[in-house]
Structure 1
């Protein structure tokens, strides 16, 4: 069989595949992309006997291609933490899908491999903004403040690198970044020794300077909404900035709308418990996500006013 490993290009996807292949090495073609390119199974070739592993990719966006692989005689192993209403049973389909709010794909893989590379799972959880979960796991590992901060910063930077309209917006193609970190069994060694880490840290610091003067386009007692320009720095910062703004005002909701080069917006939404960012975003074409963090890949300019009104009504009512 020809093996394929498909993974989201963000911190969660990178750390998931890295753990899995440290424990279960194999030769496989890698398929990945920017954060929001989650229908990656469409890139699989036609033909029989594909051995596919998919990580941190919404099953519902790939269900048809999963079925195609299986019907051609292939096998699929699927790890993910997004809702999967289209999931089905098949003797050659193995799934580990759990949409619980305190789980990410790196933690699911951590369960699968028996915690053998937990520091990478903690890094993925930090990158996926599961801060309290990651901090608890770091404490259980006996990590002090400095070591925990290193894992947190690494998760943030790996996640930061994945945001952009195209891979040209990114500092590193996610496949190249995966290949760089896969040379390191320990995330601490990657932080100290890899030039990729320093390049990401420098890029993040430079991009952050553009965001210093950012102010809400509209805000209320329940949250705020920001409009970002169609610029590479804004596209790169959109996810990590949404997380940072949420951490700055615990309990408040945040929406970041980043202008796309060809028109319209990419939307990132972060909400407090019980509000349902995914419920809001799924009202729009190309919208998906989880309860606390969701987004819309393409919001047309004509729907901007509708979304703004819908967002503030949603976070006020909590439904």
Structure 2
């Protein structure tokens, strides 16, 4: 029997798995990648009785491979907050899925574990831009100073930032390595203080890339929508998600689309619904090939240039 952990390479996926492996250590095979690489189950080979944990990737995008693994005889534990589509009914599949716009995978795992490692759930929620939920979780379960809470928030943002890129080579730290480093610590603050080399690497990269993004003006902005185009540069690929989150926090009544040029001449798209109306992002993006996500935040992995005008029209019509 083998153990296989499959997880999104962003803050939510890493922090969710950190909680689970602190609660139940396993010598497992790690399968992950950049945040946009969500079709991860296709790379999994398994034998009857293998235990597979899947975190923070859409079941809808992985259903055929999930069914393949279940047919082989693997046991699957699946936790996520994205649109799942039809969920297979079998005793070999245990599912914790909640599409509500105010939760994330780290918070779902925290509920499952009874607040056993709530600080990591707070980090994951901050990283996924669930700031109100992270604050509420901290108020309920943590006894930490405001200074320490802001450190948890920064760590979540930096881990999330590190997940964005066209390939692992764009990232400062490969997600599997980052998981191994953070999961050594029951308290996220211990990671910050004891592994300052890697924390500082993430922090310095984040601020450098965000400074570059600050110089990009909106292609068009109104009271309800704004959209931006970032160049085909590694810093732009790394910053696209956290830049979108910051825009959402700065303009909570406005929807945002951040398009990053690719080497093929197409666009990688990040969409954020208004913070005060967290709906419609996934429905919008699923109208285009390679699109998906959740109600508050979604994206398109490859938007052809010829579809740009149609996308902008649909985006603005979604948030009139």
1:300 aligns with 2:304: yes
Q: Is contact 1:50–1:69 with CA below 8 Å preserved after alignment? A: no
- Cα RMSD over matched residues? 1.1
Distance change >3 Å, CA 151–CA 303, structure 1 → 2? same
2-side partners of 1:43 and 1:189: how far apart?
Answer: 33
Residue of structure 1 in register with 2:183 after alignment:
182
Residue of structure 1 in register with 2:139 after alignment:
139
Residue of structure 1 in register with 2:243 after alignment:
241
Q: How many residues align?
A: 316
148-157 or 269-278: which moved more? 269-278
Q: Is contact 1:223–1:252 with CA below 8 Å preserved after alignment? A: yes
Q: Is contact 1:275–1:315 with CA below 8 Å preserved after alignment? A: no
Q: Is contact 2:46–2:74 with CA below 8 Å preserved after alignment? A: no
Q: Is contact 1:125–1:134 with CA below 8 Å preserved after alignment? A: yes
Q: Is contact 1:3–1:28 with CA below 8 Å preserved after alignment? A: yes
Residue of structure 1 in register with 2:111 after alignment:
111
Q: Is contact 2:219–2:227 with CA below 8 Å preserved after alignment? A: yes
2-side partners of 1:261 and 1:30: how far apart?
Answer: 29
Deviation at 1:86, TM superposition (A): 2.1
Residue of structure 1 in register with 2:22 after alignment:
22
Q: TM-score, normalised by structure 1?
A: 0.97
What's the secondary structure of 1:257's corresponding residue? strand
Q: Superposed, which structure 2 residues align to 1:63-212 within 5 Å?
A: 63-140=63-140, 141-194=142-195, 195-212=197-214
1-side partners of 2:202 and 2:318: how far apart?
Answer: 35
What are the Cα deviations for residues 144-185 of structure 1, in whole angstroms up to 9, with x where unaligned? 321110111000000000000000100011001001111111
For structure 2, the 5+ residue unaligned runs are none
124-133 or 307-316: which moved more? 307-316
1:34 aligns with 2:34: yes
Residue of structure 1 in register with 2:253 after alignment:
251
Deviation at 1:114, TM superposition (A): 1.1
1-side partners of 2:228 and 2:17: how far apart?
Answer: 33
2-side partners of 1:143 and 1:251: how far apart?
Answer: 31
What are the Cα deviations for residues 251-278 of structure 1, in whole angstroms up to 9, with x where unaligned? 1111100111122111101112164111
2-side partners of 1:208 and 1:79: how far apart?
Answer: 31
Deviation at 1:125, TM superposition (A): 0.3
**2:295 aligns with one of 291, 301, 307:** 291
What's the secondary structure of 1:230's corresponding residue? coil
Deviation at 1:214, TM superposition (A): 1.1
1-side partners of 2:279 and 2:188: how far apart?
Answer: 34
1-side partners of 2:58 and 2:319: how far apart?
Answer: 24
Residue of structure 1 in register with 2:314 after alignment:
310
Q: Is contact 2:19–2:117 with CA below 8 Å preserved after alignment? A: yes
1-side partners of 2:246 and 2:110: how far apart?
Answer: 26
The runs of 4+ residues in structure 1 deviating greater than 6 Å are none
What are the Cα deviations for residues 3-37 of structure 1, in whole angstroms up to 9, with x where unaligned? 10000000000000000000011111000000011
2-side partners of 1:87 and 1:244: how far apart?
Answer: 34
Deviation at 1:142, TM superposition (A): 3.0
